[in-house]
Amino acid sequence: MEYRILSLSDLSEEYWQQRLSPQLFEHSLVWLQATEQYVTKKRCKLHTLWCDEQLVAALPLYQEQGFLGAKVFKNLMSFYSTEISLLTHSDFPESGQLLYDHIIEANRWHFFELGPIVNNRLKLHYFNTVVAQQTNWFIRDVDSEEAYFSARPSRLKNTLKRKNKQLTKHNYRFQIAQDPTSVKQMFTDYQAIYQQSWKGQEFSDDFILDLCLQAQAQQKLCFATLYIDDTPAASQIWFTQQDQVSIFKLAYDPQFSSLSVGSLLSEYMTKHVLRHCGMRHIEFGMGDERYKQDWMSEKQYRYCYLVFNTKSIIGILAWLRYSVMASFKKTLTGWLGKNSDDST
């Protein structure tokens, strides 16, 4: 196999989809290009592995300067992403590990910020430490709308029944974006709702709007808003990829919280993607919020690692700083706290 370093613009979306069949829209080339442009604003290098002139694995990375001038590898990600884009061709499942091995052997680096990634997917080889654990709620193999909702907890079903009845007392409508014009108009409404919510200001509206337009052009966008008395009350952005839908953004106006407008919109969108979009899997991004458990049935953990190149002095010093000293500080803090408790 041949290891090559490219830029994101060297490959087409069509070829990317054909060879790597990403399961999440956030692993599409258009998402990665938008991340590079709007979020990290760092020049990305696409590390790839090829067999007989065909792409079999890819991982987009960029480098920054860190502690003591260390060369730091980072995944092309943002807080909008849920999993690193280490993609492989289905006929070459081992190519992800081979690509990682090529990256760490063929490049100059001191430590590697790797993740979120499912545990044990890669043998990291070098000293490493887990710096974060993230939870991903999901549901697989949904056979029908009826099967999905019958499996939901009683408290959710009762809430939806009660709030739908209350909603009928208002002039309301659910609207789904169908074209670029409606995407832009509904995004304006989404911004208004988001700013009224507890979440404050988005990090990059341009990033989200660009993604919505790109996804709509590929028929991979499910963007809906609930209007009550002609006022946007709740808005959600979901992305589809193959037979899986990812719940990306949620927002509701607090003045309508008594109607549980977020839940009503989630119900509407779930029915839509199951009825009309052929979705069989739903995933709810990262986070262990309790409400996600009502809508999903399973969870998995993804981990963020620091991997240290202990073949270099700077890599060893970084390991001492971020791993050994951090563990010592945690132990010392716990010991001091215990002794403080014993003395009272």
Task: Please give the CATH number for the structural domain made up of 142-279.
Answer: 3.40.630.30
> For the chain, what are the domain ranges?
2-133+301-342, 142-279
CATH topology of domain 2-133+301-342: Aminopeptidase (3.40.630)
Per-residue pLDDT at 338: 47
Torsion, CA 223, CA 224, CA 225, CA 226, rounded to 10: -160
Q: What is the phi/psi pair of residue 252, to 5°?
A: -145, 155
In this chain, the answer to whether the domains covering 2-133+301-342 and 142-279 adopt an identical fold is yes
For helices 154-167 and 261-276, angle between their N-to-C axes, nearest 10 degrees: 100
Compute the distance between CA of residue 41 and CA of residue 58 in angstroms, rounded to an integer: 20
pLDDT, tens only, 83-138: 999 999 999 999 999 999 999 999 999 999 999 998 888 999 899 999 999 999 99
What digits encode the pLDDT tens for the residues 196-254? 876 667 788 999 999 999 999 999 999 999 999 999 999 999 999 999 999 999 999 99
* Per-residue confidence (pLDDT) for residue 340, from 0 to 100: 46
The residue with tokens 């890819």 is: 58
Choice between 236 and 341, residue whose per-residue pLDDT is larger: 236
User: What does the pLDDT look like over 135-191, one tens digit per residue?
Assistant: 999 999 999 999 999 999 999 999 999 999 999 999 999 999 999 999 999 999 999
pTM of structure: 0.91
Alpha carbon separation from 293 to 32, 160, 264, 267, 289 (Å, rounded): 29, 15, 16, 14, 8
Residue 149, exposed/middle/buried by CB under 10 A (0-12, 13-18, 19+)? middle
